[in-house]
Amino acid sequence: MSKKSAEISLAGMKISKDTETPLYRQLYDQFREMILDKRLRPGDRLPSTRSLSTETGISRTMITLSFEQLILEGYLVGKPGSGTFVAGTVPDHLTLAGKSATTRAKTKRRHFDLAKDVLPKEIISRNSNKEEIVPFQIGTPSLDLFPYRIWQQTGGQVLKKFKSFNLGYDDALGYWPLRQEIAGYLRQARAVKCETEQVIVVTGSQQGLNLIAECLLKKGDAVWMEDPGYHGAKFSFLNRGVKICPVPVEDDGLNISHAIKHCRGAKLAYVTPSHQFPLGVTLSLAKRLQLLDWAKRKNMWILEDDYDSEFRYEGRPLASLQGLDTEGCVIYSGTFSKVMYPGLRLAYLVLPSLEMVEEFKKVKAMMDRQSPILDQIILSRFMSEGHFLRHLRKMRLLYDERQQTFINAAKELVGNYLMIKPNAAGMNLTGWISKKIDLQKLKTEIKKQGLAIPFIRDYAMEFFNPRGMMFGYTAFTKYKIRTGLEKLRSCFEKSLL
């Protein structure tokens, strides 16, 4: 630090009083850059704040501030009585010679390989963008009829008393009053046997799936999956390194005998018994009992994903599979995304034992500590005040009506090309395409028209059924349904063989 103590020149400093950057910050940036660029070397003495102030017209306070910061960060050292020097601790070979540290707009792009190899990329990437709700997007609630005013009032009441809630770290299992509401709702509406203690709140059903995969499955374990089936679940399992055993789906649900024959040692069965995704069939009572019996004898877990069974248009919602389980082998999963709005990201699991709850709690805490508190409080009030069930009833009537509208319009407009049957539940319909149609051509035309109509085969693993299509109808008015189907008709017409 002593080899060269002459004061350095300020040539090349660009200080502007017109920019939004404070003066001390400009000084700091420029000195820092000069040090990193080697224009200032270890041991160089800086001018006194007084002379710098005279030279630049900047106040001594500003200059002192910038020096103090540079000293704090190790660029400069102050020696009482003799001045301020460039620090000697910046190793020569390490400085960023020849590079401008602050004016560099972009850093280099180092090559980067995702550390994963099991991800079916086409499936994930499809889901990670902002989604425009175009006909006939599946699984989308009618957001125009969400009870905004009540949600606003409920939210307002919660925010008014926000101080009285625990805003620190809460139980990783979720906000207790919300867990109570969920348990009460499930017992009453879904015939789920559960106590509040068995309910875990998760940040969306996808997190619930990951939690189950993390806690119950090891790499190499086998899992029965409905084929075609829900890609989000497949993805969580694949990500865990699990072996998927595709099981064909029949009119009365999963072909359990096929599964037993081909994959006896499965650790878990993933099922959507109330309303199979994507085909919309119901798992029959006989098969439910067969599945439970197998699970009991083979120590297999059953994951019942009850993603949209709140919407049942004939009779009451079907009782859950979980309600039939006497052996504690069913994990029940449900979500608020379909009933409330997807951006809420609140879902839940019901676990069969408190022992399991304790272990899941630790892993949930590792995932995101707990789900955010504000939405949980608002939702629990929305439920306890009866708004949730009212909203559900209203949507059930609306969706029933929209399904009728869709089916009638489809018969009229595309009946020649598409066979479509009513479905007693859920938010989607399955349509079967006439053999007169070139499927590849159709797919291209649908894309060109800006429609969102997935093919059943997009969800297939081994058992392809090429001629099925899926339609969401819940988010669309009569007008949108008709114009969407008119577009689809022109797609069909252009795809005739």
Residues 174-233 that bind a copy of itself (CB under 8 A): 193, 203-204, 206-207, 210, 214-218, 221
| CB closer to a copy of itself, 1 vs 90 | 90
- Taking only Cα atoms into account, the Rg of the chain, rounded to an integer number of angstroms, comes to 31
Residues 407-436, one symbol each (x = binds a copy of itself by CB under 8 A, - = not), give -----------------x------------
**Backbone dihedral region for residue 58 (phi beyond 0: left; psi -120 to 50: alpha; all else: beta):** beta
Give the Cα separation of 68 and 81 in Å (integer): 16
Q: Extract long-range pairs of 14-17: CB within 8 Å, 24+ residues apart.
A: 15/56, 15/58
What distances in angstroms separate CA 193 from CA 181, 237, 452, one per listed residue? 14, 26, 38
CB 154 within 8 A of CB 270: no
Which of 31, 85, 136, 151 touches a copy of itself (CB under 8 A)?
A: 151
Beta bridge partners of 247: 226
Residue 439 CB, nearest approach to a copy of itself (Å): 27
Give the Cα separation of 435 and 334 in Å (integer): 37
| CB closer to a copy of itself, 89 vs 404 | 89
Using CA of residue 437, residue 443, residue 449, residue 450, what is the dihedral sign? positive
Which of 3, 14, 17, 108 touches a copy of itself (CB under 8 A)?
A: 108
Per CB under 8 A, contacts with a copy of itself among 15-34 are 32
Give the Cα separation of 471 and 419 in Å (integer): 12
Residue 127 CB, nearest approach to a copy of itself (Å): 5
**Size of interface with a copy of itself, in residues (CB under 8 A):** 123
| CB closer to a copy of itself, 134 vs 439 | 134
Which of 2, 16, 82, 326 touches a copy of itself (CB under 8 A)?
A: 326
Candidates 9-17, 106-114, 392-400, 431-439 — which segment interacts with a copy of itself by CB under 8 A? 106-114
Contact between 318 and a copy of itself (CB under 8 A)? yes
- Give me the sheet containing 468-472, strands edge to edge: 418-420, 428-433, 468-472
Identify which of 250, 304, 315, 302 has the alpha carbon closest to the alpha carbon of residue 281: 250
Per CB under 8 A, contacts with a copy of itself among 61-90 are 65, 68-69, 72-75, 87, 89-90
Token output for 289: 């009992």
| CB closer to a copy of itself, 151 vs 311 | 151
Contact between 386 and a copy of itself (CB under 8 A)? no
Type of residue at 322: Q
Residue 69 CB, nearest approach to a copy of itself (Å): 5
Residue 482 CB, nearest approach to a copy of itself (Å): 22
| CB closer to a copy of itself, 46 vs 216 | 216
Which of 3, 14, 163, 261 touches a copy of itself (CB under 8 A)?
A: 163
Per CB under 8 A, contacts with a copy of itself among 332-351 are 341-346
Residues 228-267, one symbol each (x = binds a copy of itself by CB under 8 A, - = not), give -------xx--x----------------------------
Residue 66 CB, nearest approach to a copy of itself (Å): 9
What distances in angstroms separate CA 124 from CA 129, 277, 369, 389, one per listed residue? 10, 18, 24, 33
CB 189 within 8 A of CB 345: no
| CB closer to a copy of itself, 208 vs 468 | 208
Give the Cα separation of 226 and 278 in Å (integer): 9
Residues 356-385, one symbol each (x = binds a copy of itself by CB under 8 A, - = not), give x--x-xxxxxxxxxxxxxxx----------
Give the Cα separation of 422 and 253 in Å (integer): 17
Which of 5, 57, 162, 436 touches a copy of itself (CB under 8 A)?
A: 162
Give the Cα separation of 464 and 227 in Å (integer): 8
Which of 79, 148, 397, 477 touches a copy of itself (CB under 8 A)?
A: 148
Q: What are the phi and psi torsion angles at 437 (to 5°)?
A: -100, 135
Would you call 388 exposed, middle or buried from its count of C-beta atoms within 10 A (0-12, 13-18, 19+)? buried
CB 440 within 8 A of CB 365: no
Name residues whose C-beta falls within 8 Å of residue 393's C-beta, 6 or more positions apart in sequence. Answer: none
Per CB under 8 A, contacts with a copy of itself among 446-485 are none
| CB closer to a copy of itself, 8 vs 365 | 365
| CB closer to a copy of itself, 316 vs 435 | 316
Give the Cα separation of 165 and 379 in Å (integer): 14
Contact between 129 and a copy of itself (CB under 8 A)? yes
Residue 124 CB, nearest approach to a copy of itself (Å): 4
| CB closer to a copy of itself, 148 vs 464 | 148
| CB closer to a copy of itself, 12 vs 91 | 91
Candidates 55-63, 279-287, 403-411, 414-422 — which segment interacts with a copy of itself by CB under 8 A? 279-287
Residue 175 CB, nearest approach to a copy of itself (Å): 9
